[in-house]
Structure 1
């Protein structure tokens, strides 16, 4: 009987020792929880405010597909970017507007508000300024009237850019250059190509001097016959194919641009 008690006591001691050791070992083990890092701002989708100003090309005149011309197509392309949650748009393009008209339009309260909220501003202007010179000198076209008007255009363009910047110092401003719609309708007036190039050079110099401006050239798109007919039946505005090619060019100029600016973060 005594022997049984002794054996039982030893077994209890061993079991108790094992339990204590296990308990000590369990208590000694620490569990490290690794906190997941928050994603950086560049991976957080943003809402972009896109504003259009200028003439009938920004309005989308000639787009029989009713997709909003280049403006509507660029909007849809931006919406497909992973880092963009949504694109809010305001289009203030007006058919027939020249630089003088746009200068006045920039005084409208609705336009001012739209520009102030914009992250990206796209603009077409100048085509009707040149068309006005053509109309007024149709029977005696030479370089002189175009170059006289070019000087005035250059000053008005600077004024437009300065006004936009006074409303919004940080938005990306994209200016879409001029093309020659008379190339096939009036092929004998080859001087128009030179005029367009000179006006585009002035516009590019001014927009790039801004530091946050982009010049998008489209003259070569409309000077080629590779893609077939690119003008609407009025032989002045782009058709849906022309607008699609313009939109591709404009979007590609924005695709690798940092659109998640401080202004976007502030508004989110």
Structure 2
């Protein structure tokens, strides 16, 4: 009898200990998910790491796609989370005989041309871009439109004067970013997403927005023609005809239908 009591007590003790460990482990994991801790970079992740120094993989005929830039590059507004970048990869996979690999989406909400220049100095970002042979780039809208503040906050409406003032500096920084991209990856096809006017159906904002976006797209188109293996994908006409059909609820980013149409344009240019 005593031996049975001893076994029962031991089993109960072990069971309680296991439960405590499980609860502790779950709590720790949840804390890491909800409140992730910043950890010092290890020797394998800093600027001197072998990863940052590796040469890109040898060309094997596959599409190796990476996206970088602002919230449009990220796919904000698409309820499916795919955006135009992953939709481009999916369309290519369906329509091309080549293998398609989507490497990474490096898009960041709110990114400006100045912030893009800083991002292009990061070793991890540079490694992904080295591996790609198609780089999808969306940038400039936050410089010109302050991320849609004109519509969403009622301040900073895109007047002709404000857009005219923002254009030269934004264009200069974009040129520097394109130069950095070419330094990182001399041979990849760089596909720049042309801007559209998200305020085209708002009479008080239409004229200035149209003028600013048209001038910007023309300037970027010239830069892309000067570069090697660069392509501008136009989007202005898509959103000009029926913005309500292709814009998300925030009236600034595309919705799933808008991103799908953009992806179709990108694929047309790549093939």
1:143 Cα offset (Å): 2.3
Matches within 5 A, 1:8-23: none
1:81 Cα offset (Å): 4.0
Are 2:220 and 1:203 equivalent residues in the alignment? yes
Contact residue 46 and residue 83 of structure 1 kept, 8 A: no
Cross-structure match for 2:264: 248
Aligned mate of 2:100, from 81, 86, 94: 86
TM-score (norm 2): 0.72
Are 2:184 and 1:167 equivalent residues in the alignment? yes
Matches within 5 A, 1:223-238: 223-225=240-242, 229-238=245-254
Cross-structure match for 1:157: 174
Cross-structure match for 2:204: 188
Number of aligned residue pairs: 208
Greater RCO, 1 or 2 (C-alpha within 8 Å, sep 6+): 1
Cross-structure match for 1:54: 69
Cross-structure match for 1:129: 143
Contact residue 71 and residue 111 of structure 2 kept, 8 A: yes
1:160 Cα offset (Å): 0.2
1:130 Cα offset (Å): 1.1
Instruction: Provide the rounded CA distance (Å) in 2 between the counterparts of 1:83 and 1:134.
Output: 39
Bigger radius of gyration among the two: 1
Contact residue 112 and residue 167 of structure 1 kept, 8 A: yes
Instruction: Provide the rounded CA distance (Å) in 2 between the counterparts of 1:62 and 1:134.
Output: 13
Contact residue 159 and residue 209 of structure 2 kept, 8 A: no
Instruction: Provide the rounded CA distance (Å) in 2 between the counterparts of 1:193 and 1:110.
Output: 37
TM-score (norm 1): 0.73
Considering fraction of residues, name the structure with more helix.
2
Q: What is the root-mean-square deviation in Å for CA atoms of aligned residues?
A: 2.1
| Residues 49 and 244 (structure 1), Cα distance of their counterparts in 2 relative to 1, 3 Å cut | same
1:142 Cα offset (Å): 3.4
Instruction: Provide the rounded CA distance (Å) in 2 between the counterparts of 1:72 and 1:248.
Output: 12
Instruction: Provide the rounded CA distance (Å) in 2 between the counterparts of 1:240 and 1:140.
Output: 26
Aligned mate of 1:113, from 112, 116, 127: 127
Contact residue 149 and residue 157 of structure 2 kept, 8 A: no
